[in-house]
Amino acid sequence: MRVIVTGCSGFLGGEIVRQLLRRDWEVVGLSRRETPDLVRAGMTHHRGDLLDNGYLDRVIADADVVIHTAAVAGVWGTWQHYFDNNVVASRNLLRACLEARVSQLIYTSSPSVTFDGRDQRDVDESEPYPTSWMCHYPHTKSIAEQEILAADQLGGMRTVALRPHLIWGPNDPHLIPRVLQRARSGRLRIIGDGSNVIDTVHVINAAAAHLDAIDALRERPEVAAGRAYFVTQDEPVNCWDWIAKLCRVHGVDPPTKSISFAAAYRIGAMLETVYRWTGRTSEPPMTRFVASQLAKDHSFDITAAKERLGYQPRLNMDAGLQTLMGDTAVTNAPSTGQ
């Protein structure tokens, strides 16, 4: 198997590469940044930009599987920036895969492609795409997801989209540092009544789901292909209790002060307006999307991933939290079903 992983320098992409290498497959990583640790582990790296079609044509040739994790995330920025990097880049990759006759294309999507600002409690993949969006990231991710799923069976290629929610784990450069930074500075507030339920997923489990998708597309494509799948720990938690645990694990006092959702939402809307008027490119300290994400339920039924992909979390929540405390026995445990 020759597997291409876009975004290999990212948090999730790097873990996918490490799990693939344990299968002794040929793994080729694509990213804009160098990845010396993954190269030392056995990955072949091609540095470049997915907006460059010539680059894609060279590196996709002879690939059996492409896993597309590369994306621009976040809640602030121009439409063009998100559209180019999340939609145009995915279209370029899709074209290159079809021309190279790649057998599988696995797209890393996001549960936010179904989020319209209201509570989502134990929803499954029948949840529709919104008709309006609070930021460009989920909007552009939804466009790419729909186009990649629509390409299933074109030229013999099979496709799936995976929607891992709130990926965390050791060396997380995004979620945990952001929470801890705000908690340390005293700027983190409980938004709403603090009762909202969320799903999360450890990076080992999120990566393993991608390998499960490869196996399912190879062994039972008629069951697995052409669909999107939520991917979680399968252990919904109270959002603010979980954040408090993360804080305590890292020796940080958890937040105790609160603000109503209505007030946080109004502040977010005001700041978005001010930042747009003044042309500021930095992210506002609060946005409507962030307020909604922190106050609303986000839990997902992963029955489809279990039954159609054979996905099961490799680490439960307690074991995952141990990896944050430097438990190398857990961190280095086998994490892929082979």
Instruction: List, by residue number, the catalytic residues.
Output: 137
User: Strand, helix or coil at 31?
Assistant: strand
The DSSP line for 151-188 is: TTTGGG-EEEEEEE-SEE-TT-SSHHHHHHHHHHHT--
User: Strand, helix or coil at 329?
Assistant: helix
Opening angle at CA 212, ends 71 and 145, nearest 5: 35
Two structure tokens written together for 150: 């629509």
Output the CA–CA distances (angstroms, integers) from residue 116 to 21, 108, 120, 129, 132, in the order listed.
Answer: 38, 20, 9, 8, 7
φ, ψ for residue 158, nearest 5 deg:
-110, 140
Q: Which residues pair with 78 in a beta bridge?
A: none
Two structure tokens written together for 272: 């978005």
Q: Which residue shows structure tokens 């799990």?
A: 19
Contact 200, 168 (CB under 8 A): yes
Residues 6+ away with beta carbon under 8 Å from 156: 101, 103
C-alpha 325, offset from chain centre? 23
Two structure tokens written together for 311: 């996905």
Distance CA 229, CA 162 (A): 5
C-alpha 257, offset from chain centre? 29
Alpha helices by DSSP H, listed for the chain, are: 11-21, 36-41, 53-60, 79-82, 89-99, 136-150, 175-185, 203-219, 221-224, 239-249, 261-278, 288-295, 303-304, 317-324, 328-331
